[in-house]
Structure 1
Amino acid sequence: MTKRAVIVGINDYSQQPATKYFMWPNLGGCLADASSLDGLLRGAFGFDSTVLLTDSQASGEAIMAAVGEMLTASGAGDVATFCYAGHGGRLPSNPDDYNDPANYRFYDCIVPYSGDYITDKDLYRLVSSLEPSTVNFTLIMDCCHSGGLSQISPDGRLRSGDYTSNLIDMCVNLMNTVIPCGVVLPPEATGMDGNVSNVAGDGNGVVCSVDDNKSFVPQSKATVLAACRYDEVDADSVGAEGHGGLTAALLDCINATNQQTSYWELVDALRDDMLNILNLQQTPTLLGQENRMDQVFLAAWDDSM
């Protein structure tokens, strides 16, 4: 059994130009996240191999190549983990055609240092041959996708770009489905369709109601530990070490317990830590593969299900 990880942290967004949908301010805590997650995976979870990509190393092409190589090398009994700390966004299925009938479906994306945004459709192309019943593919996503809803403090940052009025209009009028980046669903999968409703603009972002019954789908090939729900924001530069909200809570919880905690137990501990220790109004969330959440976080699957 081999444990491998690709870890990405991006503070510098100077090479991502503003578009008709987004603008991308620089961040402050993502390099600290990447370094700490690298140490956590190696020290606490016994990872054999980690690839660390930060700022200019983390182009879209480099991220996709590193994740692809990790997954290609992974076989039965292995663990593959992708950690991302940086900006997130959200775009309709066809952002160039407002009237495309497919635009009820929006895709969360992660934003590399340079190059194209990465969505679940891109990740699916890398894992089409992956057998999720034997390989534990987990993504840890310290970002958000709902826009720059409100500042945490006058100097605070959020890990989602500000939505333009064009994108807010598209979300309010078209969106009833959000496909998270990392659940790794086939393009034809419909299990998450209709998972959001009551979409409304809020400042430079959107809020919505979320159907939690559609968080897990049988066709997903991965598990996502997300920093927050679809309509929440992820804090940047939290605490003395300046981490993102999810990384700060994850370090707290792993250091306070042992590593033999299930996915369900961990997300409950993370929610408690964010609310009562870090004073953050965000809700860590599990998404994706439906039948493994009682198993140990970042451990090899104990059987073939």
Structure 2
Amino acid sequence: MTKRAVVVGINDYSIQDPSGGLNLNCCVSDATMFYHTLVDSFDVKPADIYYYADRSATRDTILRAVSYITSIAEPGDVAVFYYSGHGARVRADSGHRDVDSYYEALVPAAGDFITDWDFARVADSLRPEVCNFTLVIDACHSGGLHDTDNTVTKVRSLRYSDELIDLICSKLRTLIPVGICLPLAAHQQLAGNVSHVRRADDGTIDLDEDLDRVLVRASRSTLLSGCRYDESTWESSTLGHGLMTQALLDAFNRSTNTQPSYREVQDDLRSAVRQLLEKHILPTRPGVTQTPQLRGQDNRMDEGFLDGWTFTPA
């Protein structure tokens, strides 16, 4: 079994926004710490990790690296993608304003945003029944009001214009998360998975999700994401990291379980993020929540986290 990883952290968004208004503080340190955790705790060889920070983390570079580690994966191998940076939402059909389907997306340092369809295309040769492709994404996609005077805590989502918020609230009925590698032919399985889309007081987009479709058998990967569709992921310069990444690494460092399952990781992560939120975010942002999520292949949640699959589905 070989484990390979692509690790991305972006603080510098000055190519996307020369004003510097999109810049973050803690994503590169997140990526660096996750890199070392892969080596120290999950036996990934440094030569098998492709690390990109700030301006090197372009769309083309990221997708090329993901394509490489998934294309050479053999039965029993593990491919990992880690991302710390901004998220966004884009229409599934960019040419029509009236579409009701949207993609969550990652914002690279340069180039077009990266959606789940992009990951599904570049990982097309991967055999998900025998190869574990896991994505860990510390970003959010719900928009929100960004306090530009607050340099300590930041939200990892692009800020949406009033026009875009109104459009999403009036049209959105299907939301495809980034990182589950859902084939285009299977998108119908998520049709109508969100409802009652509305603008929250803090400028985020609130909604109700059909919880029966969080896990989708047709997914070709497993996703551990930083929050629900209607929440934000937070970073704190005092902490030096994003809350999700810090909680994840703390959980690995203190756990006596040498091979936790995906469900166990999610449970530990939610508890740890809640504690960090109370200490670092709630004093200045009362009422906010952040709830890490597991999405993707429903038959893999009890498998070992970042381990080779133990069975082949019939």
Q: TM-score, normalised by structure 1?
A: 0.93
Using the TM superposition, give the Cα deviation of residue 192 of structure 1 relative to its aligned residue in structure 2, in angstroms. 1.6
> Alpha-carbon deviation of 1:278?
4.1
1:167 counterpart = 2:164: yes
Closer/same/farther in 2, CA of residues 213 and 229 from structure 1, 3 Å limit: same
Q: Deviations over 1:267-291 (max 9, x none)?
A: 0111111113442620000001110
Match of residue 123, structure 1, among 107, 119, 124: 119
Q: List structure 1 runs of 4+ shifted beyond 4 angstroms.
A: 149-153
Correspondence 1:285 to 2:293: yes
- Gap change, CA 1:193 and 1:151, over 3 Å in 2: farther
Q: Which moved more, 1:46-55 or 1:90-99?
A: 90-99
CA distance in 2, matches of 1:53, 1:34: 9
Q: Kindly report which structure 2 residues correspond to 1:146-225, keeping only aligned pairs within 5 A, or say none.
A: 146-149=142-145, 154-155=150-151, 156-189=153-186, 190-202=188-200, 203-225=202-224
Distance change in 2, residues 1:167/1:30 (3 Å): same
Answer whether contact 2:25 2:237 (CA < 8 A) is retained. Answer: no
Q: Is the 8 A contact 2:146 2:159 kept in 1?
A: no
Q: Distance in 2 between matches of 1:205 and 1:105?
A: 18
In the TM superposition, residue 121 of structure 1 has moved relative to its aligned partner by: 0.9
Aligned to 2:253: 255
Rounded to whole Å, the distance in 1 between the matches of 2:111 and 2:21 is 13
CA contact (8 A) 1:149 1:233 kept: no
Q: Gaps (5+ residues) in structure 1?
A: none
Amino acid in the other structure paired with 1:303: F
SS of the counterpart of 1:44?
Answer: helix
**Which 10-residue stretch deviates more, 60-69 or 127-136?**
127-136
Unaligned runs of 5+ in 2: 282-288
CA distance in 2, matches of 1:154, 1:197: 32
Partner of 2:243: 245
Cα separation, 2, equivalents of 1:143 and 1:58: 15
2:90 maps to amino acid: L
C-alpha displacement of 1:24: 5.8
Partner of 1:5: 5
Of 25, 28, 31, which residue of structure 1 is paired with 2:28? 31
CA distance in 1, matches of 2:276, 2:10: 26
8 Å CA contact 1:183–1:287 kept in 2: the answer is yes
Q: CA deviation at 1:96?
A: 3.4
1:27 maps to a residue whose letter is L
What amino acid does structure 1 have at the position aligned with 2:294? L
1:200·1:208 contact (CA, 8 Å) conserved in 2? yes
1:90 aligned counterpart, secondary structure: strand
Note if contact 2:243-2:276 (Cα within 8 Å) is conserved in structure 1. Answer: no
The root-mean-square deviation of aligned C-alpha atoms, in Å, is 1.8
**2:128 aligned counterpart, secondary structure:** coil
Q: Does the Cα contact within 8 Å between 1:45 and 1:259 map onto a contact in 2?
A: no
Q: Aligned with 1:181: secondary structure? A: coil
Contact 1:149–1:206 under 8 Å retained in 2: no
Secondary structure of the structure 2 residue equivalent to 1:83: strand
Match of 2:303 in 1: 295
In 2: Cα distance, 1:11 partner to 1:80 partner: 24
Equivalent pairs counted in the alignment come to: 297
Identity value in percent: 40
1:114 equivalent in alignment to 2:113: no
